[in-house]
């Protein structure tokens, strides 16, 4: 690629990253002002003078990772499509009737049409809006996609138009109930859907670890070893 163009793109990526950070709104989108604005932003938040070279050396990789993951999260509908195409072929859905599979697909498509996904806030799925936290997006594509598909999984679990047999084919558990069951269900959906979309077991597990491993175990959340084992089982089946 033309180096000058590459250079302009690098600064645009840095500017996008800065504008999404707390206090970053002041970074101008104007190409003429972007370099100065980005350097000023990093100088302000890092409490030291940042030259253009310092910024490129220290933050370009981080900004690229953030922007690539943000692009995936923003274009999430595209990443769900291969899963829809594979619902009829996955072994775990084989015992379903074709009517159940059709109901599932209709519900997934309706969900796709109505859900909004927003980068920012805390990661959750409330009232038809999924938020994916900036800090999660900053971890990169695998973590951001797992977190997003986990939240879609919460929507699948509570969706009244999806038959119970479909939900049982995604995840069942002998003892866990309530929100702990919901967390494992959402992990199971994320693992199955991402795997059907061509993400490798390694990408899925590292994404799950990035998204979940820091969460302690509590009344609502199973511990990481339990969740990890569940994800392994889902990827194996
Ligand atoms: Zn959850």
Domain count of the fold of the chain: 2
Q: What is the Cα 196 distance to its own chain's centre?
A: 16
Assign 220 to helix, strand or coil: coil
| Domain end position, chosen among 23, 49, 66 | 66
Distance 220 CA to ligand 1 centre (A): 9
| Domain end position, chosen among 66, 91, 112 | 66
CA–CA distance, 112 with 137 (Å, rounded to integer) = 20
Confidence of residue 36 (pLDDT cuts 50, 70, 90): very high
Range of the domain at 51: 3-66
In the predicted model, is pLDDT for residue 1 greater than 60? no
Q: How many CA atoms lie within 13 A of 158 on its CB side?
A: 13
Q: pTM for the whole thing? A: 0.91
Could you give phi then psi for residue 125, rounded to 5 degrees? -125, 100
Distance 98 CA to ligand 1 centre (A): 29
Residues lying with their CB under 5 A of ligand 1, a single-atom ion = 183, 186
Distance 212 CA to ligand 1 centre (A): 9
| Domain end position, chosen among 38, 66, 94 | 66
Q: Are residues 45 and 127 in the same domain?
A: no
Q: Are residues 80 and 175 in the same domain?
A: yes
Distance 74 CA to ligand 1 centre (A): 19
Segment 54-69, tens digit of pLDDT: 999 999 999 999 999 9
Segment 72-119, tens digit of pLDDT: 999 999 988 999 999 999 999 999 999 999 999 999 999 999 999 999
Q: Are residues 62 and 143 in the same domain?
A: no
DSSP H/E element including 10: helix 3-20
């Amino acid at each position: 690629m033309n180096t000058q163009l590459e250079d302009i793109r690098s600064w645009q990526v840095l500017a996008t990253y800065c504008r999404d950070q707390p206090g970053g709104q002041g970074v101008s989108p104007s190409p003429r002002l972007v370099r100065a604005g980005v350097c000023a932003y990093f100088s302000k938040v890092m409490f030291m003078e940042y030259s253009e070279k310092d910024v490129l050396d220290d933050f370009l990789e981080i900004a690229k990772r953030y922007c690539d993951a943000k692009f995936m999260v923003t274009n999430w509908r595209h990443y769900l499509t291969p899963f829809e195409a594979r619902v009829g072929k996955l072994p775990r859905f084989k015992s379903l009737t074709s009517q159940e599979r059709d109901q599932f697909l209709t519900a997934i498509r309706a969900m796709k049409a109505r859900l909004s996904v927003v980068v920012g806030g805390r990661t959750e799925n409330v009232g038809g809006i999924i938020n994916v936290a900036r800090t999660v997006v900053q971890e990169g594509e695998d973590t951001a996609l797992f977190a997003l598909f986990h939240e879609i999984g919460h929507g699948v679990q509570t969706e009244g138009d999806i038959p119970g047999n479909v939900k049982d084919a995604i995840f069942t558990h002998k003892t866990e109930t309530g929100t702990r069951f919901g967390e494992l269900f959402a992990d199971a959906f994320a693992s199955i859907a991402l795997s059907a979309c061509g993400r490798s077991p390694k990408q899925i597990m590292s994404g799950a670890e990035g998204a979940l491993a820091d969460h302690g175990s509590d009344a609502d959340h199973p511990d990481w070893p339990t969740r990890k084992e569940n994800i392994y089982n889902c990827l194996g089946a």
